[in-house]
Amino acid sequence: MKIRFLVFLLPVLTVIGCHKPAVCEQFIRADEAVDGLYEFALDMSDTLATYDLSFYTAALDAPLSLTVDWSCDYSETVWLPAGKVEALYRSGIRPDRRPGTDAAYPYGRKKEAAAPVILRVRVNNAPEDFRGLGIICKRNDGTR
Q: Are 132 and 28 in contact (CB under 8 A)?
A: yes
| pLDDT at res. 72 | 67
| pLDDT at res. 65 | 92
Specify the range with the lowest mean pLDDT, choosing from 45-59, 89-103, 115-129.
89-103
d(CA 76, CA 8): 51
Instruction: State what percent of residues in the chain have pLDDT above 90.
Output: 37
Q: Where do the H-state alpha helices sit in the chain?
A: 2-17
Higher pLDDT, 30 or 142: 30
CATH 1.10.510 holds for 22-140: no
Higher pLDDT, 8 or 13: 8
d(CA 20, CA 13): 14
d(CA 105, CA 96): 6
**Domain boundaries along the sequence of the chain:** 22-140
* Segment 77-117, tens digit of pLDDT: 999 998 888 999 999 888 777 666 555 554 444 545 557 88
| pLDDT at res. 107 | 43
